[in-house]
């Protein structure tokens, strides 16, 4: 019984170590079954990838209103946050001083005109006397100069009158565009001046969304759509507008909803900031219902169609700091790590789109790649 117990225990121990013991005591190496790895043979596909960029909105025409003359506000005719019409009176500056300036300028003009008439009569009289050789050339030319000087004085007085009338008109400040008005920097009785704006009128019939893209993204867009730098910035082929070349974009609002109207990319920055490494871009959206306002935080969504792109499940990737590595299966059943620099995650988070490093027909490990190393044999 004791011998049988030891034999059973010995067999169990040897089996647990991967060794089988025969009755005669000889040993044979036990081969563990090779782990199975899922793989995929890469084939070119067409995929749509949405790139998202933080953006800030503003009206298509956003104007700061500065008074053109100084004075006390005697009337205010708007409420911040409401819509004002182009030409609507916003506020009135006390016109008393400017009305007096107009009257003074009118009087100066009358004096100048009277002087002009006197010098004209004198010159015409001297011309007749000169023809009869009664006066010298000097006297005639002197009267001509006085006449021309009087003409200039009339022109100057007329200009001063125009300035006075213009300043009087500036006492009534009107809206430059139709739009939402913001700002309440003054009250009736306050002094306003040309050095400080008092309100902002934002035309939001269309809304711009300003955002930035990285240098790499800019290069991808330029090459994808064959953009060039022209006299007006980035242009499409044959000088076409970027809005005619680039795809329609969407605007994702702060609450997660997608704005109902698609927009156009109107500006792709031709310059990359040395400070931020980004290029400024702009998209434009129609806003017929006034849903969008200036100052909103949103996200621009730009769809890109990748033709002949290679896609793999995200489980195939091994992240090495800021790089992605994938294991390609060689003919002898071993694997080699391939680092790919241009890799884009699919919007549903299940795939990666690979633009470099791997080729069509390559077989890559799609599951368990994190357990592998270069030269590991998987089949």
Kindly report the three-state secondary structure assignment for every residue of the chain: CHHHHHHHHHHHHHHHCCEEECCCCCEEECCCCCCCCCEEECCCEEEEEEEEEEEEEEEEEEEEECCCCCEEEEEECCCCCCEECCCCEEEEECCHHHHHHHHHHHHHHHHHHHHHHHHHHHHHHHHHHHHCCCCCHHHHHHHHHHHHHHHHHHHHHHHHHHHHHHHHHHCEEECCCCEEEECCCCCCCCEECCCCCCEEEEEEEEEEEEEEEEHHHHHHHHHHHCCEEECCEEECHHHCCHHHHCCCEEEECCCCCECCCCEEEEEECCCCCCCCCEEEEEEEEECCCCCCCCCCEEEEEEEEEEEEEEEEEHHHCEEECCEEEEEEECCCCEEEEEEECCEEECCCCCEEEECCCCCCCCEEECCCHHHCCCCCECC
Intervals of the chain under pLDDT 70: 1-35
Domains with residue ranges and CATH for the chain: 1-32 (no CATH), 39-46+309-371 (2.40.420.20), 51-59+204-306 (2.40.30.170), 67-94+171-196 (2.40.50.100), 96-170 (1.10.287)
- pTM higher than the cut 0.75: no
């Amino acid at each position: 019984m004791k011998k049988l117990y030891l034999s059973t225990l010995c067999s169990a121990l040897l089996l647990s170590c991967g060794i089988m013991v025969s009755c005669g005591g000889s040993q044979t190496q036990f081969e563990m079954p090779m782990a199975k790895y899922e793989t995929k043979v890469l084939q070119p596909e067409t995929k749509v990838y949405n790139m998202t960029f933080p953006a800030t909105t503003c009206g298509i025409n956003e104007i700061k209103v500065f008074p053109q003359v100084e004075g006390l506000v005697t009337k205010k005719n708007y409420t911040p946050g409401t819509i004002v019409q182009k030409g609507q009176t916003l506020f009135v500056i006390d016109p008393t001083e400017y009305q007096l300036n107009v009257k003074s300028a009118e009087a100066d003009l009358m004096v100048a005109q009277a002087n002009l008439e006197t010098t004209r009569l004198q010159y015409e009289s001297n011309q007749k006397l000169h023809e009869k050789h009664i006066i010298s050339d000097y006297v005639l030319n002197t009267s001509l100069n006085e006449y021309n000087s009087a003409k200039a004085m009339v022109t100057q007085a007329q200009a001063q009158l125009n300035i006075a009338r213009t300043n009087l008109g500036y006492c009534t400040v009107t809206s430059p565009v139709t739009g939402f008005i913001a700002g309440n920097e003054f009250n009736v009785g306050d002094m306003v001046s040309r050095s400080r704006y008092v309100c902002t009128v934002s035309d939001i019939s269309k809304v711009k969304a300003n955002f930035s893209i990285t240098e790499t993204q800019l290069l991808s867009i330029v090459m994808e759509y064959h953009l060039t730098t022209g006299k007006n910035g980035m242009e499409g082929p044959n000088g076409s507008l970027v809005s005619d070349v680039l795809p329609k974009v969407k605007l994702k609002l702060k609450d997660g909803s997608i704005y109902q109207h698609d927009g156009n990319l109107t500006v792709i920055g031709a310059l990359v900031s040395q400070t931020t490494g980004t290029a400024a871009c702009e998209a434009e959206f129609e806003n017929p219902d006034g849903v969008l306002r200036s100052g909103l935080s949103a996200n621009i969504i730009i769809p890109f169609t990748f033709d002949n792109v290679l896609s793999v499940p995200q489980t195939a990737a091994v992240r090495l700091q800021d790089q992605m590595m994938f294991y390609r299966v060689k003919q002898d059943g071993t694997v080699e790590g391939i680092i790919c620099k241009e890799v884009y995650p699919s919007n549903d988070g299940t795939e990666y789109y690979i633009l470099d490093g791997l080729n069509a027909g390559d077989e890559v490990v799609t599951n368990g790649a994190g357990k592998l190393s270069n030269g590991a044999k998987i089949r």
